[in-house]
Structure 1
Amino acid sequence: MNHAIELSVLSPMASVESMIDAFEAVQQNGFATLTVPPFWVKKLHRDWPESAQAILSTVIGYPLGYQRTETKQTETECALNDGAREIQVVMNTSAWFSNSNGWPKVEFAKLAKLIHQREAIFTVIIETDFFDESNLLRALKTAADAGADYVQNTTGFFQKPFDLAKAVRFKQLTPARVGCKIWAEGATNEDFTKLLEHGAERLCLPFRS
């Protein structure tokens, strides 16, 4: 199961010591990914073993996603230059639920091109609690059509109780050509097993030092 676990250290109170502890936990346990704020990517990349299988990831547009596309592009370029191998972009729900609801696809396409040119992974994070099922289905298709490698069901910023049924439904709605990540804070080991059985590729957890 460890190969499917992603650790995130995104608390505003997280110190550099927390980043290093999380880095060591990922290496020692064979976890898939470590996600950190853009500010810390360069420092962690300097100590990232070339032989490591784990991916160093960061978030863009965290936590609400409503930055300008040009801002997200600049942040993405900086993160890639600093050594990030995965970019997780928070969807602009403010644009989606407005007369500009076609813009997220344009933004995703621009970012996908930039990220894939550097042979990095592109993940789109969608705050599913803001979406009814028909809108969620369209949003997932939009992300997939624009070139996302993965979609994720929440940033975890709002700290909602884990809901296995909602998580499974997110996976069921995800297009088959896109990987599925589930924020699994609060999930039990049994929940982890069920999520993997339903085809979730990654289980995302906050790091607790």
Structure 2
Amino acid sequence: MTKNEIAGIIDHTNLSACAVESDIEKLCAEAAEHKFCSVCVNPSFVQFAAEKLAGTGVKVCTVIGFPLGADTVDNKAASAAVAVDEGADEIDMVQNLALVKQGKWDELEDEIRAVVDASKSVENREPALVKVILETCYLSDEEIVRSCECAEKAGADFVKTSTGFAILKGADGKLLPNGATVHAVSLMAKTVGKRLGVKASGGVHNYEEACAMVEAGATRIGASAGIAIVS
């Protein structure tokens, strides 16, 4: 892929807890300049980003249940609806990992469906695209596959690898990688085929890493390093 083609599938991201309006304004300006697919911001900045990006063709993406996925179904669905009403075009929701670990697949499917329904039924707004964040660093291959299957059955549009905020430690106490891997992306892509998109997010720092994710099956890249990737 050319760098322009890569730019067109990047969600240019700033989900820092300490981000302020000037940071988001800069993010939006960069996204418009480089023709990124979207900016991904925290819910409190959705309306601000939508105003800054009006007329640019760049979409506004936000996160729900972020970063733990442990909020209630009702809260996730309500938050998604508010975000869409305020200008979000895309919703990246974190699945409830407790449901995954307990094998409560029907409940997980119901949770995802609730967010999908809320995101696609806001009055006077186009249905928002929904991506389900699996947080693959916590999951076995079987859990990744089953999570993808639930997302597809529930009507989601994408599955996504990671928040980038997971904390995973080895036996020595040192932090382990918590983002996208070629293995996880390949497994997700194999599971959903062409029916859903696959977003690789977390730890994609440069053009070569982005291309490796695309080769593995990613159709979208989530990164705070969007400028580095295309330059």
Normalised to the residue count of structure 1, the TM-score between the two structures is 0.90
Shift of 1:205: 0.4
Instruction: Provide the residue aligned with 2:53 in structure 1.
Output: 48
CA shift, 1:99, in A, is 6.4
Give 1:144's aligned residue.
152
4+ long deviations beyond 4 Å: none
Question: In structure 2, what is the equivalent of residue 198 of structure 1?
Answer: 216
Amino acid at match of 1:111: V
Cα contact 1:185–1:204 (8 A) shared by 2: no
Q: Using a 3 Å threshold, how does the CA distance of structure 1 residues 199 and 100 change in structure 2: closer, same or farther?
A: closer
The 5 Å alignment of 1:113-124 reads: 113-117=117-121, 118-124=126-132
Q: Find the aligned partners of 2:98 and 2:75 in 1 and give their Cα distance.
A: 16
Structure 1 residue 180: deviation in Å? 0.5
Contact 1:3-1:31 at 8 Å conserved across structures: yes
Give 1:184 deviation, angstroms: 4.8
User: What are the within-5 Å matches in structure 2 for residues 69-108 of structure 1?
Assistant: 69-98=73-102, 100-108=104-112
* Distance in 1 (alpha carbons) for counterparts of 2:118 and 2:184: 32
- Report how far residue 200 of structure 1 moved: 1.4
- Structure 1 runs not aligned, ≥5 long: none
Q: Please, what is the CA RMSD of the aligned residues?
A: 2.1
Verify the 8 A CA contact 1:141 1:175 in the aligned structure 2.
Answer: no
2:165 matched residue in structure 1: 157
Q: Distance in 1 between matches of 2:215 and 2:182?
A: 12
Q: Contact between 1:66 and 1:95, CA under 8 Å: does it hold in 2?
A: no
- Contact kept, 8 Å, 2:10 with 2:38, in 1: the verdict is yes
Q: Quick check: 1:179 aligned with 2:183?
A: no
How many angstroms apart in 2 are the aligned matches of 1:99 and 1:47? 42
Residue 195 of structure 1 and its aligned partner are, at CA, apart by 2.3
Q: CA deviation at 1:131?
A: 1.4
Cα pair distance change 1:161/1:106, threshold 3 Å: closer
Cα deviation digits, residues 26-82 of structure 1 (max 9, x gap): 0000000101010111122223223x2211010000001111111111111111111
- Aligned partner of 2:71 in structure 1 is 67
Q: Structure 1 pair 182/99, CA: closer, same or farther in 2 (3 Å)?
A: closer
Letter of the 2:29 partner, please give it.
E
Partner SS, residue 122 of structure 1: strand
CA 1:96–1:7: 2 relative to 1, 3 Å: same
Question: How many residue pairs end up in the alignment?
Answer: 208
TM-score normalised over the length of structure 2: 0.82
CA distance in 2, matches of 1:31, 1:208: 8
The letter for the 2-side match of 1:49 is A
Letter in 2 for 1:59: V
| Structure 2: distance between partners of 1:70 and 1:175 | 30
> Which amino acid in 2 is paired with 1:139?
S
Q: Distance in 2 between matches of 1:34 and 1:154?
A: 16
* Matched AA of 1:67: D
